[in-house]
Amino acid sequence: MFRLLPDADVQAFIDADDRVQMEFFYQQRGLVRRTTGRGPDGWIVITLWGSEEDAAASAKAAEDDAIHTAFMSFVDPESIEVKHFFSREG
């Protein structure tokens, strides 16, 4: 869960989200699905990975990726809450 920065342009964020999904995330090994939603308390991105290793590799790649950095420029870093869940089989 996260919130946008107070002065963020919502449509520009949505455009950045579309771009990071297609040009960064869907290029990462092991990505199963990614979706973004908005509710009364903020935004959420749910990303399903084939393995913990794939998720970790993507997180590392995102550190130096310009498209991911542009996406994150809309996000209030103090509001980010990350949770990890794993399949019943894993």
pLDDT tens track, the chain, 90 positions? 999 999 999 999 999 999 999 999 999 999 999 999 999 999 999 999 989 999 999 999 999 999 999 999 999 999 999 998 776 665
pTM: 0.91
| pLDDT value, residue 85 | 79
Which residue is listed with tokens 């990462």? 28
User: Looking at residue 66, what DSSP letter applies?
Assistant: H
For every residue of 6-61, DSSP letters joined together read TT--HHHHHHHHHHHHHHTGGGSTTEEEEEEEEETTEEEEEEEES-HHHHHHHHHH
In terms of Cβ atoms closer than 10 Å to its own Cβ (0-12, 13-18, 19+), residue 60 is: exposed
